Amino acid sequence: MTRRSGGCACGAIRYQVDGEPLVCFICHCTDCQRATGGGPAYDLLFPVEAFALLKGEPRVHWTTAQSGKRVGRYFCGECGTPVFGDIESLPHARDIPVGSLDDPGIFSPTLHMWVKSAPPWHHIDPDLRQFEGNPREGRHLSARSESDR
């Protein structure tokens, strides 16, 4: 089984995830744009049971997303690095920002979501699946198919 590790910039928070991601995606919602400082979020979803917090006590900020569901963004209270997240509509999954992984090379996106919120200057790969908002439940786990745009 593949084990990956990650954490924050200052080393106060460390985690590991086992196995392969359920999906790698790019989210263009306005909350993600704010959380990243302007661009989309580049994230991976892993089964929640594959995640283990090894070190530290992250802080969390909960918001209500454009979908109406709550999203918890966990971050280091010392350096501010986003380290993982919880999405109310996906209780079986843990969201991992690609930048928090020690080796972000695993990231190979399969879809764009919330493209209706993307700024006009952000490139959206036409070869990837695209969703105006959230993908319909279950369909987001397949790598490619027709666009739901």
Which among 111, 119, 42 has a CA at the least distance from the CA of 82?
42
- Structure confidence at residue 148 (pLDDT): 39
- Extended strands (E) in 20-124: 23-27, 41-47, 51-55, 59-64, 70-75, 82-87, 93-97, 111-113
Q: With beta carbons less than 8 A apart as the criterion, state whether 66 and 131 touch.
A: no
pLDDT band at 137 (very low <50, low <70, confident <90, very high): low
pLDDT tens digits, residue range 23-62? 999 999 988 899 888 899 999 999 999 999 999 999 999 9
Specify which residues 4 forms β-bridges with: 17
pLDDT tens digits, residue range 65-83? 877 889 999 999 999 999 9
Could you tell me which residues come within 8 angstroms of residue 29 by beta carbon, excluding any fewer than 6 positions away?
41, 65, 66, 113, 114, 117
Confidence (pTM): 0.85
Domain spanning 3-134: which superfamily? glutathione-dependent formaldehyde- activating enzyme (gfa) (3.90.1590.10)
